[in-house]
Amino acid sequence: DPPLRDLATAKGKVIGTAVTGSKLTGTYGDLAGAQFNALTPGNAMKWESVEPSRGTYNWAEADQIVAFAQAHNQQVRGHTLVWHSQNPGWLANGTWTPAQLSTLLQDHITTEVTRYKGKLATWDVVNEPFNEDGTYRSTLWSDNLGTDYIAQALTWARAADPTAKLYINDYNVEGVNAKSTALYNLVKSLKERGIPIDGVGLQAHLILGQYPSTLRQNIQRFADLGVDVAITELDIRMQLPATEAKSTQQAADYKAVVDACVAVTRCVGVTVWGFTDSDSWIPDVFEGYGAATPYTENFTPKPAYHAIAQSL
């Protein structure tokens, strides 16, 4: 197959991968540069990574990934500005008034978005704001600032970089369900209020054989609202050990996801959450599961890789 990025570019789509900066050398670096036209820092731009102690910034890994992307003519998806997880200890364990938290959040967004102004295609501004039933998740932000922290975060991000596309990103919002409908209603109301919102990210951390059959319909309803859609964190985990039958099923599932995105003009593309099993979060978090990415840990392309190439 030709490189995935050439196939995607010919279709006007993004094919991205999450990456770890320290690994961008050798075969990992060669494949990340040759196969993908977009990168997402897997952890490097999260608040705990960039401001580990208050007022002390560490941009090294984020800068490195942005430089690698520029050298390889790749887009960068910034990930992520406002989240309930991976916040620095000083922030998460501090005692703050709502006014202080609001200022901290505004400063964080302004500092980080300004640093990469004009260099990033996209920001996942708000990550994972919803519960499964479509209510708002209780977080440091929603508990103290109310749910309008979302509108404020988007507004601050736009002010700092008017050219980056601003997204809300969540998981289990791939099919039509209570959670994706809550996201739909939020985007609709933000648009009605004139709050800057350019797209929704469907993470797509899927389980083998559980492709959501309403994915295309769901992408289409967001497109019809007037926003872009991206598949932002695709992986398809299986119970280990991997077998040939499971790998075949996984290829079919990957193909179905990419097909659904290709079918809708406003679906800008697909990013995998790690392109190799050696750089996947799955075994650390889902006990007994793994083999979720398109390449083995030895960088051999799997049937899933060829399925993506077929769809693009």
DSSP string, 178-215: HHHHHHHHHHHHHHHHT----EEEE--EEETT---TTH
Give which of 256, 258, 272, 309 is closest to 4, Cα–Cα: 309
Cα 241 off chain centre by? 27
Residue type, 20: T
In terms of CB distance, is 293 or 311 closer to ligand XIL?
293
Q: Label residue 285 exposed, middle or buried (CB < 10 Å: 0-12, 13-18, 19+).
A: exposed
Alpha helix positions (H), 194-302: 215-225, 244-262, 282-285
Q: Are strands 38-41 and 205-207 parallel, antiparallel or unpaired?
A: unpaired
Interacting residues with ligand XIL (CB under 6 A) = 42-43, 127, 203, 233, 281
Return the number of the residue (57 or 281) whose C-beta is nearest ligand XIL.
Answer: 281
Q: How far is the CB of 301 from ligand XIL (least distance, A)?
A: 21
| Omega cis (within 30) before 98 | no
Residues 6+ apart with CB under 8 A from 142: 129, 136, 149
Least distance from C-beta 114 to ligand XIL, angstroms?
A: 22
Least spacing, CB of residue 281 vs ligand XIL, in Å: 4
Asked about 233 being catalytic, the answer comes back as yes
What is the closest distance, in whole angstroms, from the C-beta atom of residue 291 to ligand XIL in the complex? 16
Shortest Cβ distance from residue 126 to ligand XIL (Å)? 11
Least distance between ligand XIL and beta carbon 14 (Å): 17
| Tokens read off for 242 | 């991997």
Beta carbon nearer to ligand XIL, 10 or 92: 92
Q: Residue 110: is the preceding peptide bond cis (ω within 30°)?
A: no
Under a CB-based contact definition with an 8 Å cutoff, are residues 263 and 20 in contact?
no
Q: Nearest-CA neighbor of 155 among 104, 127, 129, 190?
A: 190
Residue number of the CB closest to ligand XIL reads 281
* Placement of tokens 């006014």 in the chain: 99
Among residues 233, 244, 287, 297, which one is catalytic? 233
Q: Which residues are catalytic?
A: 233
